[in-house]
Amino acid sequence: NAGVTQTPKFRILKIGQSMTLQCAQDMNHNYMYWYRQDPGMGLKLIYYSVGAGITDKGEVPNGYNVSRSTTEDFPLRLELAAPSQTSVYFCASSLVSGSLGEQYFGPGTRLTVT
Amino acid sequence: QQQVKQSPQSLIVQKGGISIINCAYENTAFDYFPWYQQFPGKGPALLIAIRPDVSEKKEGRFTISFNKSAKQFSLHIMDSQPGDSATYFCAASSGGANFNKFYFGSGTKLNVKP
């Protein structure tokens, strides 16, 4: 049981490039989330999914896209990378939503856009 | 507007001392208040959580104190150990069966000196 896995661990992008951050979970969780963590700012929700085929925007969705074709995978796509997207990205999953379910976090992807 | 305000930003405590981290919120609909612990290079992990029907919850050396009227809650770490050195995040969420977002505080970096 690997829990929540994320790849890559680190990435440097040039302005305007695109990339996909991968996230997978093997706990058969319905809910999956993408957060970004900026220094001194806590975690902010980018996108979330309540099940395969269903996604919705969080607090800071601009510049990102997601898809959820399977229960296990929830990739985050960055189009036209900007310096403001330099951050640490965390994927998380939970069996149920909100206060009913503990969120399990992956180890994170540190992204730098220059 | 930050939904959950956390203080202090950093904290240095001697081994064996008590570490106290405070959080405040405004939204009275919040009814679930977890604390997450994050070690360097790792994702956050649930440490302890409380619902507002109790004023205190204790798990080992970790205690949450909750003051509903003041809309504040705090984490107390008794007999702090160097292994407790990590970043701690408070969070808040509202309950119910629909999807509910977590709002995270900005984090407190705890350093326990040997």
pLDDT in tens, A103-112: 899 999 999 9
Question: Which residue has 């770490």 as its token pair?
Answer: B77
d(CA A44, CA A61): 10
The set of residues, in sequence order, having a beta carbon less than 8 Å from that of B8 and lying 6+ positions away, is B21, B22, B108
Percent of chain A scoring above 90 in pLDDT: 83
Say if residues A45 and A61 touch (Cβ distance below 8 Å): no
Query: In this structure, which amino acid lies at residue B114?
Result: P
Q: Which residue has the higher pLDDT, A13 or B53?
A: A13
Residue of B nearest to A32 (CA): B99
Rounded to whole angstroms, the Cα distance separating A64 from A78 reads 5
pLDDT at B71 over 90: yes
Pick from A63-72, B23-32, B98-107: least confident: B98-107
pLDDT greater than 90 at residue B101: no
Neighbours of B101 (CB within 10 A): 18
Q: Dump pLDDT digits (tens) for B11-44.
A: 999 999 999 999 999 999 888 899 999 998 889 9
pLDDT tens track for B42-65: 899 999 999 888 999 999 999 999
Nearest residue to A32 (alpha-carbon basis) of A17, A44, A45, A41:
A45
Of A46-60, A87-101, B57-71, B89-103, the one with minimum mean pLDDT is: B89-103
Which has more confidence, B93 or A77? A77
> Which pLDDT value is given to residue B98?
57
Q: Give residue A85's region: left, alpha or beta (phi > 0; psi -120 to 50).
A: alpha
**What percent of chain A is helix, strand and coil (3-state, nearest 5)?**
5, 50, 45
B100's tokens:
């509910």
Q: Which of these, A64, A62, A76, lies nearest to A33 by C-alpha position?
A: A76
Which residue among B89, B98, B99 places its CB closest to the CB of A48?
B99
Reference B92, options B41, B36, B32; nearest CA is B32
Residues of A with CB under 8 A from a CB of B: 4, 31, 40-45, 48, 50, 56, 58-59, 90, 92, 97-100, 102-108
Which pLDDT band holds residue B5 (cuts at 50, 70, 90)?
very high
- Judge: B89–A58 Cβ closer than 8 Å, yes or no: no
pLDDT at site A96: 78
Rounded to the nearest angstrom, the minimum Cα separation between B38 and chain A is 10
